[in-house]
């Protein structure tokens, strides 16, 4: 039945010209709009969350050292170039557990609890596998509005009912999370299963949750028995002091699925790491086992060296450089953008801008004006679910979700400060001309 009927999109016929049929999701899920933007090669690139500062020399050195080690020890090479455990190599999990204890105060004993850490192919795979193991069609999820499309789209694909709750310059507003729980109970007859949040330097808004909001969101999840997914993709890329992870409140490792990624703080080797409640981890790893069997051991070997010996040095270099890029962007926006509101990141890769003109369409503007002027950003649209529900302003009802077209995500991670200043000034002028 479900094969042909999406829970909220209704009957979808899937026969194609060749006579065979695709599964239903293929007809309502499009290619990621951020992936689609990759085809544009522009000078002023403020689109995807590509790290622009990668310690390439360090990785060159590590790979050289590993090559030498393999020459000396063919048995090690044979093991490393082979299939490995689905959840990651124990030696790498131990290294990550140590960093999570020492630097992020995650409440696991790194000597004894390292098995609480799991490896996935990017944290994207962890997000997907978590949704895959937690969500049946019709189940309910709470996310901020807007939210990371890499979470929203798979959630919709799997048939979740997504409730988006209002955010401000400090991120998701806990009072609305609580109201969304009651609204879900009234409208759908059930409590949501999951709450999703990026606590440090959110994607797309670049906001960071203050301590009191972290505590409040954790407490709400506790009191309604919901799993909280804390996506900490940007936790290491922080140039201002930020509160500790929500996961630090989860002393029994029972409430919070904590996701990290090597992509932003190391290199894009497609390795994510997570600390999941044990019963959740078992299901997620079962799923991963069918998705990819295991993550390549070679990349774990490379990253193990990096996390053991180089990350502090690399972060010491990278963080001020990212900060300079962020400051170049905020300064140029403040000097040149027309009336609107921007976020003020503590770290991460993104700034979110909302035009004061409600009828501004940033997607059309990008196609018609920005791209011809060698500029690329991500229009706000993809960060709202294609089908979903949003809380009304008074928090009492759920209405169909709505795309806020007058918004855009600007990424400062990839280009040098000079190019950012130049490009943002140019964008500001074009926006001012367009919006009057």
Ligand X SMILES: Cc1ncc(COP(=O)(O)O)c(C=O)c1O
In the complex, the residues that contact ligand X under the rule CB under 6 A are 49, 122-124, 148, 150, 198, 203, 231, 233, 261, 263, 272
406 in Cβ contact with 357 (< 8 Å): yes
Token pair, residue 205, equals 């808004």
7 burial via Cβ count (<10 Å: 0-12, 13-18, 19+): middle
CB of 406 to ligand X, least distance (A): 22
CB of 51 to ligand X, least distance (A): 9
> With respect to ligand X, which residue has the nearer C-beta, 398 or 408?
408
CB of 50 to ligand X, least distance (A): 9
CB of 154 to ligand X, least distance (A): 11
> With respect to ligand X, which residue has the nearer C-beta, 100 or 233?
233
Cα(194)–Cα(422) distance, integer angstroms:
42
> With respect to ligand X, which residue has the nearer C-beta, 263 or 323?
263
Q: Where are the alpha helices (DSSP H) in 310-416?
A: 311-336, 362-365
CB of 120 to ligand X, least distance (A): 8
Reduced 3-state DSSP string for 110-126: CCCCHHHEEEECHHHHH
Tokens 């919070």 correspond to what residue? 256
Cα(382)–Cα(47) distance, integer angstroms:
12
> With respect to ligand X, which residue has the nearer C-beta, 178 or 287?
287
> With respect to ligand X, which residue has the nearer C-beta, 271 or 430?
271
* Residue 345: C-alpha distances to residues 204, 234, 323, 340 (Å): 11, 11, 9, 16
For 13, which DSSP code?
-
> With respect to ligand X, which residue has the nearer C-beta, 260 or 395?
260
Of all residues in the shown chain, the one whose CB is closest to ligand X is 122
Going by C-alpha positions, the residue among 349, 311, 303 that lies closest to residue 48 is: 349
CB of 121 to ligand X, least distance (A): 8
CB of 204 to ligand X, least distance (A): 8
> With respect to ligand X, which residue has the nearer C-beta, 202 or 250?
202
Tell me: cis bond preceding 204? Omega within 30 of 0 counts: yes
């Amino acid at each position: 039945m479900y094969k042909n009927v999406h829970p909220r999109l209704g009957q979808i016929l899937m026969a194609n010209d060749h006579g065979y049929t695709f599964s239903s999701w293929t007809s309502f899920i499009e290619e990621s709009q951020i992936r689609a933007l990759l085809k544009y090669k522009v000078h002023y690139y403020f689109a995807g969350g590509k790290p622009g500062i990668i310690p390439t020399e360090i990785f060159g050195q590590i790979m050289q050292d590993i090559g030498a080690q393999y020459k000396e020890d063919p048995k090690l090479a044979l093991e490393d170039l082979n299939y490995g455990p689905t959840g990651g190599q124990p030696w790498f999990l131990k290294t990550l557990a140590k960093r999570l204890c020492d630097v992020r105060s995650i409440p696991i004993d790194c000597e004894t609890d390292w098995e609480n850490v799991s490896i996935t192919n990017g944290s994207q795979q962890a997000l997907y596998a978590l949704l895959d193991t937690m969500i049946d069609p019709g189940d309910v999820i709470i996310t901020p509005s807007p939210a990371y499309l890499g979470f929203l789209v798979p959630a919709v694909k799997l048939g979740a009912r997504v409730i988006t709750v209002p955010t401000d310059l400090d991120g998701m507003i806990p009072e609305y999370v609580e109201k969304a729980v009651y609204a879900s109970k009234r409208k759908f007859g059930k409590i949501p299963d999951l709450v999703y949040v990026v606590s440090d330097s959110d994607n797309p808004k670049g906001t960071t949750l203050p301590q009191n909001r972290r505590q409040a969101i954790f407490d709400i999840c506790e009191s309604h028995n919901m799993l909280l997914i804390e996506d900490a993709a940007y936790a290491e890329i922080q140039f201002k002091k930020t509160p500790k992870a929500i996961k630090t409140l989860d002393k029994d490792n029972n409430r919070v699925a904590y996701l990290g990624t090597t992509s932003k703080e190391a290199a894009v080797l497609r390795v994510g790491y997570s600390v999941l409640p044990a019963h959740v981890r078992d299901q997620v790893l079962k799923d991963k086992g069918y998705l990819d069997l295991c993550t390549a051991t070679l990349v774990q070997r490379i990253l193990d060296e990096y996390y053991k010996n180089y990350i502090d040095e690399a972060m010491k270099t990278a963080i001020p450089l990212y900060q300079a890029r962020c400051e170049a962007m905020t300064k140029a926006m403040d000097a040149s953008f027309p009336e609107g509101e921007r976020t003020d990141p503590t770290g991460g890769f993104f700034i979110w801008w909302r035009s004061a003109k409600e009828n501004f369409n940033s997607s059309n503007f990008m196609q018609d004006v920005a791209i011809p002027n060698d500029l690329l950003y991500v229009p706000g649209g993809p960060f709202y679910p294609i089908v979903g529900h949003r809380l009304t302003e008074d928090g009492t009802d759920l209405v169909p979700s709505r795309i806020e077209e007058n918004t855009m995500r600007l990424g400062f991670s990839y280009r040098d400060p000079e190019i950012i200043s130049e490009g943002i000034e140019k964008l500001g002028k074009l926006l001012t001309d367009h919006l009057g």
